[in-house]
Amino acid sequence: MNIEEALKEPKKLTLEDKLFTVKYNAAKETHIKVDNEICKKCTTNRICLTICPAKVYELEEGHTEVHVSFENCLECGTCRVACTDNAIDWRCPQGGMGVCYRFG
């Protein structure tokens, strides 16, 4: 590596780039359940669709029910706090499953 390369500004990573580096042990069963009856009456404009950094919650085109990709969950708990209607039942994944942290 020459001096010009060493002095270049490092590449800025997108959220997707950063999420790609997270290691998961995917469980076979979900640790997140959405009560779609409550969800349909959402008073916060379905904040779960925008608040989750890992895009766990998605509304498929032409559907009214929220699709949950629990395998992507970073276990931050943001959805539990943001969903003021209590439509999301979030529990810790079963032991040894979910996000694998390197230093803790």
Instruction: Look at the pTM and tell me if it is higher than 0.85.
Output: no
| pLDDT tens readout for residues 84-95 | 999 999 998 888
| pLDDT tens readout for residues 4-22 | 877 787 788 887 787 778 8
For residues 15 and 53, the answer to whether their CB atoms sit within 8 Å is yes
Please report, for the chain, the start and end positions of each structural domain, with discontinuous segments joined by +. 31-104
Query: 11: Cβ–Cβ under 8 A, 6 or more apart, which residues?
Result: none
- Domain 31-104 fold is Alpha-Beta Plaits (3.30.70)
Residue 61: band (very low, low, confident or very high) from pLDDT cuts 50, 70, 90? confident
